[in-house]
Homo-oligomer: A and B are copies of this chain.
Amino acid sequence: MAIRTRQSQRRRQALSRERIIEAAVELLDAAGEGGLTVRALTERLATGSGAIYWHVGTRGELLDAATDTVIAAALAAEPARAPDTPQDEIRVVALGLFDAIAEHQWLATQLAIQLTRSPWGPVTLGIFESIGRQVRALGVPQGNWFTATSALVHYILGATIQNAQIGEDTSVAEPDADRADADRAEFLDAASRAWQELDPGDYPFMRAIADQMREHNDREQFLAGIDLVLTGITHLQPPTGQAHIAE
């Protein structure tokens, strides 16, 4: 009963690479990575397994294509209000990724897999380019572009992966926004309580910050981290030709 099969009797749309990727994203959203099986896909699309391989290739290639598609859409999405400084633009791009991963939790793992397997594949390239342009607009000296952009991108990816399941909802449905808020408060409360019960000998730090956890807002916290990195970028020493002249 879990997943409703939306179109099983006769095919409504012609089969195509795009249609297959779209259906794959629906399955992934509904049931996670394990939910995307060739059989479930052929059933949903009312076709045979060979058709999938004809249009997109193996299951792995389909996963890559789904990841590329969703990330590219998140990077291309125009924000409601036009940002007027490079800092704002960076926040917009970062929140775009943050929300995309919250909406499609399977993205966190897929992103990590692509990052590991091909560190400079299309996905990473797109993210670096988006952030890098704003770093340039910030007036950072050219020799620091790579360091500054890497720091931002890596912070964004790490934070975004950890917040995948916490951030949920936000932009999707309004009706149960209250319920989502309640869920999150409950989650934070549980985490906070768990930390307070940790062995003080092993986890003195986590115990000490247990209080802060309760009253913390994921998006605000995420943006505070962005600001911290931006501050670090502002104070970068202009690079020398040779690294580490004086250590």
B115, B125, B165, B209: the one within 8 Å of A116 (CB): B165
Considering only residues 100-130 of chain A, those with a C-beta below 8 Å from chain B are 105, 108-109, 111-113, 115-117, 119-120, 124-125, 128-129
Query: In the assembly, how many copies of this chain are there?
Result: 2
Give the interface segment out of A19-27, A83-91, A155-163, A171-179: A155-163
Contact with B along A229-246 (1 / 0, CB 8 A): 111110110000001100
Question: Do residues B229 and A243 form an inter-chain contact, with CB atoms below 8 A?
Answer: no
- A125–B159 CB distance below 8 A: no
Separation of A117 and B125 alpha carbons in the complex (Å):
26
Q: Are B205 and A132 in contact (CB under 8 A)?
A: yes
Q: Closest CB of chain B to A48's CB: distance in Å?
A: 26
Which residues from B are CB-within-8-Å of A119? 162-166
A96 to chain B, nearest CB (A): 16
Please name all residues of chain B whose beta carbon is closer than 8 Å to the beta carbon of A124 when the two chains form the complex.
162
Given contacts A129-B203, A206-B128, A228-B151, contact A161 B112 (CB under 8 A): yes
Query: Do B154 and A162 touch (CB < 8 A)?
Result: yes
Q: Which residues of chain B have C-beta atoms less than 8 A from A164's C-beta?
A: 115-116, 119
Closest B residue to A224 by beta carbon equals B147
Q: With the chains together, A221 CA to B147 CA distance in Å?
A: 7
Which A201-241 residues have a C-beta within 8 angstroms of B? Answer: 202-206, 208-209, 212-213, 216-217, 220-221, 224-225, 228-233, 235-236
- Interface pair B116/A212, CB less than 8 Å apart: no
In the bound assembly, the distance between CA atoms of A142 and B207 in angstroms comes to: 12
Report if A154-B225 is in contact (Cβ < 8 Å); known contacts: A115-B108, A116-B109: yes
A216 touches B136 (CB 8 A): no
State A9–B230 Cα separation when bound (angstroms): 59
Q: A171-210 toward B: CB 8 Å interface, digit per residue (1/0)?
A: 0000000000000000000010011001000111110110
Q: Is the CB of B228 within 8 A of A115?
A: no
Distance to closest chain B CB from A222 (angstroms)? 9
